[in-house]
Structures are given as C-alpha cells and as structure tokens.
Structure 1
Amino acid sequence: MNPLRDRVLVTLAAVLWVGGTLVGTGLVGGGGVASQGDGLFSDSATLIAPQGPAFSIWSVIYLGLAGYVLWQWLPGTTDSTWARVTRRPAAAAIALNGLWLLVVFAGWVGLSVLVMGGIVLSLGLLLRRTAGLPRAGWAADVWVSATFGLYLGWICVATCANIASWLVGLGVPATTTGSAVATVAVLAVVVVIAALLLRRTDQTAFRLGLVAAVVWGTGWVAAGRLSGDPRSDLVGYAAAATAVAVALLGLASLRAPRSTVAT
C-alpha cells in the first residue's frame, strides 16, 4: 500500500463528506434530512425511527471522523499498522456518508438503502482489519476504534430505519399491527447483529462505541414510540428491551478475554 496515496484518498473522501453534509443537512440549499423524501426520514415517519434528539450523536461521530482524517496525516502514522489497514475502508465509509446525504437530498430513497449497505460493508471491513491488532495508544483508540465503533453501532439502527422509510415510501403501511410486529422482529435482529459484531472484535474501545451507539439509538426509538408520534407501546417496550439487551451484551464482551475473536 502507498501511504501517501491512501492519505490523499481519505482526504478526498472527506471533501465529499463535507460537501454532502452541507447540502444534506440544509446548510446549503435549504431543507435538512428530515424534510427530504416527502418526510420519509422524519422521526415520525416509521415505527423504528429514533426520536429527534437521537441524531445529535452525529456531532460526536463527525468530530471523530474529522479527527481520523487529521490523525492519519501525522508523521507518526506513516508506519502505523492501524492507519495502514484502515485508510481505505475508512475512506469508503466517510465518502459514502456524504453520498448518502446527497442521494437523500435528491429524493432517491431506494438508492439511499444501497448506499447505506455500502457503509455497513466498509465499516464491517474496518472492524475485521483491526480485530486482533495490538493497542497503539490513545490516538488509535479514539480516532479509529471509538469513532468507527460509534459509527457502526449507529448505522446498525439507521439501516433498519432507512429500509423502513423506503418500504413506507413504496406504500407499506407504517403503523398497522403487522408493521409493529415486523418492527419488533427487526429489533430482535439488531440484538443478534450487535452480538455477532461484538464477537468479531477484541478492541475494547470499538466494543464500547458500538454498544453505546446501538443503546442510544434504540433507546430513542423507545422514547419516540412511548411518548411521541406514531405511538406504539409494543414497539416502545421492545426497543427499550433491545437497548438493555445490547448493554448487557456489551458488559459481557468486556469480561471476555481480549484474544477471543470469532472468525
């Protein structure tokens, strides 16, 4: 791998990310994500949409991504295994975030699901590449493990919400009993996915970031369904149970030997 080329690749990805953020959040062009796609991305569009305050997690993720872009340029990362093996998947995840915002701004809800899938694959590859690496100090813990752990955890929830928005846009009813039962099933899948991901990394900071984001997201799904619109006690309690289950999985993972990673 060419460190300079990969550093430039990460930086170009960051340019797309920043541009997409400016447009997609309404800072340029008007109208944020919640108003795009005929409101399909608002916190009241589907039963699995997290309540509004949940999205403040992006400020933390964005700070971490900016830190990663700068960190990977530092002279000390030239020969860093952590930087070398993560630059390309990180670049993909960063660029696709900006692309997702642009796609949503254009109203292409179906395409946004595919872009979200690309983010999942990129973050999954990054998790796999860092599993088993020896710790390399607080900088790698913060800018790689914690940052991309948070990103992946949030995307686990956001992907479900994105697919639900797409289905509602296709005409699937959002608030029927069947939709509520299906949402509960999806929340159960989130628990399974979190468990599988936790088994595939031995990095403590990655595990903590992943669990924190999933618990945060599903906790706000619970808040939205129990106190907001649309209301669904079934989904609300299921989301709360999901948050608790993932938190317990996270605690259990911290007790596991660091060298234990599923292949």
Structure 2
Amino acid sequence: MRWFRKIVIAASAVVAVVGSFIGSGAAGGTPIQDAAGGALSASSTAIAPAGPAFGIWSVIYVGLIAFAVWQFLPRRGDEVRHDRLAVPATLSLLLNAAWILSVQFGLLWLSEPIIVALLAVLAWTFVILRRTRPSGTVEAIVTDGTFGLYLGWVCVATAANTAAVLTAAGFQGFGLSQDVWGVVVALVAGAVGVLLAVSGHGRLAPSVSLGWGLAWVAVARLDGPLVSVPTAVAALVAVVVAVVVTLAVRTRAGWSAARSARAA
C-alpha cells in the first residue's frame, strides 16, 4: 500500500511539473501573467505582485520533486507521517496543475474555486506537519520546508487571484478605491502570516514565502503602471509584522524547549 502511495505522489509531481512548464510558456503556451487577457499581470489589480515574485515557484517545484523522490529512499521514523500526508500532498499537486490549465484556457472564473481548494488542502497539510515531527534535518527541509513555502506563497496567490477574478467580473469595490482595497487585503495577508507563525510555533518557511510575495506586491505598487503608495506601505508593514512575530514565536519556543531539557 505504501508503494502505491509513493507512486501516486511521484506521478502527481510529474503532472504538476509538466503543468508548470506549460504555464511558463516554454511549451508554446501563454505565460500565466499574459493568459486570460492579462488578468493576472502585475498591473491588473492593486494586490498583484511584480513578475519576479513568481520565481519562487522554481524553488517550490524543486522541493516538491525532492519530496516525491524522498518517498522512495530507505529511512526510518517518518513513514506514518508520510502516510498521513499522502492525500493532501497529492491533491495539492493535482490542483496546482488544474489551476494552471484553467488560466491557460481562459477560464478565470474556474481558477478561483481551484486555488481556494488548493489553499484549503495546504492548510490541511500544515496541520499534519504541525502535529507530527520530522525524522531529521533532511526531512524537515524537504517536507516541512517545501510545503511551508508552498502554503505561504499560495496565501498571497489566492488574494491576487481573487482580486483578478472580481476585477474581470466588473466588481467596483462597493465604491471604495483600489488603494483602500489594496491596504485592506495586504493587512489581512499580514494577519494570516501572524496566524501561521503562532499556530506553526514559529516555522520560517511560510513566513518567508508570504513575506516574499507581499514584498513584490509593494515593488509592483511603487514601480509600474498601477502605482499605489498606501498599498505598498501596508504590504511592507505586513511583511515586517509577520517576520517579527515569527522570529519572536520561534525564539520563545526555543527557550521553552531549552528549559524543558534542563528540567529533565
């Protein structure tokens, strides 16, 4: 049964990587930022990140491939953990490819439930990782690090995708300006970063990728066709708050562990 799980995850990783190759435009398709009429470009909405932000996908895909390969290596101590991760990990890979295809075919409306489902699945994965311990440093980097980066980035991507879908549908923001909505969404993203930091006991990966995405939102709002200084400032404040809280929680957890070790 475990061999079946490993093969399914590996096959799903291949599907996700092929999907990313198509989404990059390298296979003759339209790059994601240009697909669906440019709805996901850096100038489409106030919360859209600048193009270089998407470079984090390369790191995430390398991590996902490493995770798929890691399944087959002989080791001890994490098989039960990976059994629990099998379903959400597989779903995240398939949903990733489905999101790319939906955008490539111009089905922007369909991309929204897909990316929301992807976010929910990654949150499920995060809960499993939080409740189980890695068997060693390599496992922590390959599994916890990869899915932590994945989750943090998809938080930002979901916000950007939602804004793009609403804008394409003609949503007028209840009369509020893009500056106002940009500030609100950026601060909400920062609050999500704080939530991940506290619930994850100071895990670095989600904070790093979420901060990366928000930082590039700030860059796009300061230099580009859609300038919004308030949004840029709010995004940078959100980055600082999320990172500071993460480091504070991580430091406190380290102190607690050290006190427990001395007491033992």
Per the normalisation by structure 2, the TM-score is 0.90
Matching residue of 2:209: 213
**C-alpha contact (below 8 Å) 1:86/1:126 kept by paired residues:** yes
Q: Secondary structure at the match of 2:75?
A: helix
Which residue identity is paired with 1:236? Answer: A
Q: Using the TM superposition, name which of 177-186 and 236-245 deviates more.
A: 177-186
Q: Using the TM superposition, name which of 130-139 and 222-231 deviates more.
A: 130-139
RMSD, matched Cα = 2.0
Check if 1:223 corresponds to 2:222. Answer: no
Which residue identity is paired with 2:242? Answer: V
Identity of aligned residues (%): 33
For residues 122 and 77 of structure 1, the distance between their equivalents in structure 2, rounded to whole angstroms, comes to: 26
C-alpha distance after superposition, 1:152-199 (max 9, x if no partner): 00011110000001011101359x852221221111211222222223
Which residue identity is paired with 1:17? Answer: A
Matching residue of 1:57: 56
Alignment of 1:46-125 (within 5 A): 46-76=45-75, 80-125=79-124
Q: Secondary structure at the match of 1:34?
A: coil
For residues 232 and 172 of structure 2, the distance between their equivalents in structure 1, rounded to whole angstroms, comes to: 18
Q: CA deviation at 1:7?
A: 1.0
C-alpha distance after superposition, 1:139-161 (max 9, x if no partner): 21111111111110001111000
For residues 166 and 15 of structure 2, the distance between their equivalents in structure 1, rounded to whole angstroms, comes to: 28
Matching residue of 2:262: none
Q: Using the TM superposition, name which of 193-202 and 56-65 deviates more.
A: 193-202
Q: Secondary structure at the match of 2:57?
A: helix
For residues 157 and 215 of structure 2, the distance between their equivalents in structure 1, rounded to whole angstroms, comes to: 13
**C-alpha contact (below 8 Å) 1:103/1:112 kept by paired residues:** yes
Gaps of 5+ in 1: none
Q: CA deviation at 1:200?
A: 2.5
Which residue identity is paired with 1:199? Answer: V
**C-alpha contact (below 8 Å) 2:196/2:207 kept by paired residues:** no
Which residue identity is paired with 2:189? Answer: V
**C-alpha contact (below 8 Å) 1:132/1:201 kept by paired residues:** no
For residues 49 and 108 of structure 1, the distance between their equivalents in structure 2, rounded to whole angstroms, comes to: 18
For residues 62 and 16 of structure 1, the distance between their equivalents in structure 2, rounded to whole angstroms, comes to: 11
Which residue identity is paired with 1:152? Answer: L
Matching residue of 1:242: 238
Alignment of 1:146-185 (within 5 A): 146-173=145-172, 178-185=177-184
For residues 63 and 217 of structure 1, the distance between their equivalents in structure 2, rounded to whole angstroms, comes to: 18
- Which of the pair has more CA radius of gyration? 2
Which residue identity is paired with 1:107? Answer: G
Matching residue of 1:253: 249
